[in-house]
A and B are shown apart, each in its own frame.
Chain A
């Protein structure tokens, strides 16, 4: 596979400053935003966690998974089934348990899929996530095509997640923790080995790295983090349905990672925010001469994606970095 797009691992300082400013804006947002926008931004942050988890596979290890939504959705379902009918569930054990369910699923599927390469990997991850989709879609016991309601937000004792502002800050903290963890991981020996696998897996094996184990570990970790995002999604929306596991969700998260710029996790966050923003923008397009532009949002999204692939394959951060022409880029 030709490496036409070397991911941007180190960010120029100017870009880091911009990102820090954006973080401050996010922290200040609840004091000015209305409830509706608070929820919209919370959702964006949840998707940012989801996108970062995929970036570990896609941008760092070079594994294009077209079935990442399976691990996202399963954790949401786990929360739905953990929560009893009449009372909330404790956050402190249900969150690790739901993440564990996703990690276990990723471990099992990963065991089968990481032995494949290239096109096979793409198709096989997609097919397995579709299997999970049908397991939920076809079985009434698992909610069927209608999905399952989650009547109570998890109970945290120390703080109240029913409060929208508290939930916002909880999600923001989670996003920050995941970002810092993955940044640290990227520069750890394990992260370096994953990058090595992306650049040349054969050479890594020749150097004595067990690439199967490394890839499986990355796949499982990515699944677990996707599960964290799925858990938060379920808790926030109070409802899970098979769409969360589906093909479109998987494709959307790939797009978020590409849109922001792969391989540095900050891009995944930027991508998730931008993608959600665009989705809202396209859906809210006005009606012109009897033709409802917003109803056909998929057309604009589709054209946008095609244009993105042709014009800006390194995403928004890549564009920024090129525009800033910083000497700090091009580390590799």
Chain B
């Protein structure tokens, strides 16, 4: 199961994070950079997994950490920095997902003169398996999963990503999204049901 990398790094640094935050609040840019590096990998992975586009993930990263930079002075240590940061990140991701719903999601698979190419697989080196049948099955499954994820509302998608891939507890996810643990549970249940119905024979 996926691990909550940002939480793990934060926990590992422990009190060091607090002193980095305090130093960054005093204007120490090195401290801010260290703080960013402690969390940015999992932020980028979340954005990438949700948006399936390096360009959009890059925008989310930039906007999220610039907001952190501008608003760090208002962080009062009344929740964990990880939760505070993820509130910012999830808000930006939700906005992006909602915009996509309006303009219809950009397909992950693009048609080219050499046949359909998955934008995500373009940089996944050695994506092709030795066994062509398995490779074909995996490609079909991936496409089907993308369809299933498109069927979710932005909030369901986010709750699912945070629970399944980032390994966060539903209580924490509720806190990040400004909702209750119960509402997060309902979201996860609906997301799972929808995906199972779209994936049909595959699962």
Same complex for A and B? Answer: no
Q: Which residues of B contact A (CB under 8 A)?
A: none
Q: Which residues of A contact B (CB under 8 A)?
A: none
